Amino acid sequence: MNHRIDAIIHGEEHFTNLGVVFADINGLKRVNDKDGHSSGDDLLKNAAKILEDIFFDCEVYRAGGDEFMILIYDTDEDDLKKRLQKIKDSDLGFATASFAAGYYFLEDSKDILQALHVADEKMYEDKDAFYKAHPQLKR
């Protein structure tokens, strides 16, 4: 992931109509604490499989912990929104777990740093909204 982003930042690779998605799992800590770390591992595997299925033609990376980043080439904002809705509607296999997600669409990859920043911010806004709506599920 870092090599790909560095190549884009340094102009070694250039893309148009690029989407950046950040996705994070709401409730992983709760699953780990309540059901054990092997259940948490299952949750991470389920999440990765769902993202790979929805973004079958994209690059899906595990950014760390329970956070994923996806690069979508030759896309448009409508496609991003449809895929994001599929993420939100996904069943992760644990009643208390769900995806938080944010995206950014850019016409030119030279603005990749802004895209990464905004997509990440939107993901955290989505995560905050989830926990405000479901305070009982907060860590």
Residue 95 sits at φ, ψ, to 5 deg, of -60, -30
pLDDT per residue over 107-135, tens digit each?
999 999 999 999 999 999 999 999 999 88
pLDDT per residue over 96-109, tens digit each?
899 999 999 999 99
For residue 96, what are the domain limits?
2-137
Predicted confidence band of residue 138 (pLDDT cuts 50, 70, 90): confident
Instruction: Report the CATH number that the domain containing residue 91 is assigned in CATH.
Output: 3.30.70.270
Alpha-carbon gap, residue 15 to 127, rounded angstroms: 29
For residue 54, how far is the Cα from the chain centroid? 11
Total domain count, the chain: 1
Alpha-carbon gap, residue 50 to 60, rounded angstroms: 11
Angle (deg, nearest 10), helices 37-54 and 77-89: 150
What is the reported pTM? 0.93
Q: Pick from 72, 94, 96: which is nearest to 84 by CA?
A: 72
